[in-house]
Chains A and B, each alone.
Chain A
């Protein structure tokens, strides 16, 4: 059976979620492995949520937000980027596959970009195989 990854996307309400919506209304296809969780801003994504997603068996996690300077709350995405860099560096340091974690800037008009990026990311995760390092196991 082909590996069917689970990818969690935290999409900000104002840009990326609308972008994903646009991808849908323009009938662009992207893999159904991507599960979108709508958040009010990419800046509210707690690094703990990302780790918890991995813990619960996600194979990849994406934080999608507005382009720098376009944030509805002025600076939320800058905080997101700062946390993203710190968490990713730490993940790599402890030997977790940092490539499974991604930050994406997608505006409300970039439905095409959103779909393309998600397809590429899903493809990459498929090549990497299932995430077993943090997944909760039955012991």
Chain B
């Protein structure tokens, strides 16, 4: 029951330590049944909301807030806590300034599937509740029951840590996750040409809006390799200046260049990806971007035998290379 969870969250937020200056929590979006992230003052606890539609990852906002003074409380699901942990490993956030209210997460709803499944108009929906295996949507005094399995965000089926590992308080019963790469193994059984045509079709849709990079909590580089250089080239531009312009990536928007972009983007997340799925949710063309991330996760587990829980970041750990 998420109204119980919400009550508990509010209760915890009311008895936070005195030195907390911000709470990063979910607030119901006006005109839509979902929640959006908001930075709240400790006296604004009553505005908070929580439901299976609170799917966003607060790690990026927390990272930005670290520039200000004061301690921060954050509501974190399993994947959010993983992202926070990773940022902590990379010294982007200070754990001492963070108060994590962990929420044991049964999985979140895929908003796209939800919009298709629900029979009410979105602004009319009063509440969305997860009870057992069913999502109960209430609007206009009516109620609609949707099986949770029909609207669950696909990546949540493979979640290995639904309960945060690192928290100050935990809400809800701890859940067991499992390591499951069955979807990736299934895809790998296809032969090479089939895989190639599948991905070419996927990437031919990509419009290179870079939303997947922008929304990812781990893509925080200030200077990104895919950013187009807007520096003009004139006859007076010296060769060494031209050589310093980013040239790794073609600027055209065709399937192969898009593929190169996505491969490079994903490679930078090897052993770091929290699996929150923000990239897939942000994608306006609805591309299956998590498949690539999950493939890399599989390689990191199987070839390097590295688990993201370890304290040393994957990229700087060198004694895990296979022989030969």
Residue of A nearest to B263 (CB): A90
Q: Is B264 an interface residue (CB 8 A)?
A: yes
Please name the residue on chain A nearest to B246 by beta carbon.
A48
11 A-B pairs with CB atoms under 8 Å apart are A47-B264, A47-B267, A51-B248, A55-B256, A55-B260, A82-B321, A85-B321, A86-B299, A93-B195, A95-B192, A95-B193
Closest Cβ neighbor of A98 among chain B residues: B192
Determine if B211 is an interface residue (Cβ-Cβ < 8 Å).
no
Closest approach, in angstroms, between the C-beta of A113 and any C-beta of chain B?
16
Q: Are B267 and A83 in contact (CB under 8 A)?
A: yes
Q: A93-B195, A95-B199, A139-B254 are in contact. Are A85 and B248 (CB under 8 A)?
A: no
Q: Mark A34-53, 1 if CB is under 8 A from B, else 0.
A: 00000000000011110110
Chain B residues positioned under 8 Å from A82 (CB to CB): 304, 315, 318, 321
Indicate if the CB atoms of A48 and B249 lie closer than 8 Å: yes
State the majority secondary structure of interface residues on A.
helix
Whether the pair A48, B197 counts as a contact (CB closer than 8 A) is: no
Given the complex, which residues of A lie within 8 Å of B192, measured CB to CB?
92, 95, 97
CB distance A86 to B195 under 8 Å? no
**Interface contact A95-B196, CB-CB below 8 Å:** yes
Q: In chain A, residues 52-100, which have Cβ atoms closer than 8 Å to a Cβ of chain B?
A: 52, 55, 68, 75, 78-79, 81-83, 85-87, 89-97
A136 located at the interface, meaning its Cβ lies under 8 Å from any Cβ of chain B in the complex = yes
| Contact residues on B (Cβ < 8 Å of other chain), bracket | 35 or more
Contact A75–B318 (Cβ < 8 Å): yes
Q: Is the CB of A90 within 8 A of B295?
A: yes
Give the residue name and chain of the A residue nearest to B225 (CB): A48
> Which residues of B282-313 are within 8 A (CB) of A?
292, 295-296, 299, 303-304
Given that A89-B299, A93-B188 are known contacts, is A51 also in contact with B264, CB under 8 Å in the complex? yes
Q: A49-B248, A94-B195 are in contact. List 4 more A-B contacts (CB 8 A).
A: A47-B263, A79-B318, A94-B196, A133-B256
Q: Taking the complex as formed, is A134 at the interface, i.e. its CB lies under 8 A from any CB of chain B? A: yes
Residues of chain B lying within 8 A (CB to CB) of residue A46: 248
User: Interface residues, chain A, CB within 8 Å of chain B?
Assistant: 46-49, 51-52, 55, 68, 75, 78-79, 81-83, 85-87, 89-97, 133-134, 136, 139
A94 B260 Cβ-Cβ under 8 A:
no
A96 to B266, CA, bound (A): 16
Can you name the residue of chain B whose Cβ is closest to the Cβ of A92? Answer: B192
List of A residues within 8 angstroms of B296 by Cβ: 86, 89-90
B304 neighbours in A (Cβ, 8 Å): 82, 85
Contacting B256 at CB < 8 Å: which of A86, A87, A93, A134?
A134
CA distance A58 to B48 in the complex (A): 55
Complex CA gap A96/B198 in Å reads 12
Q: Assess whether B318 is in contact with A78, with CB atoms less than 8 Å apart.
A: yes
| Cβ-closest 9 pairs across A and B | A95-B196, A95-B195, A48-B248, A94-B199, A78-B318, A51-B260, A89-B299, A93-B295, A95-B192
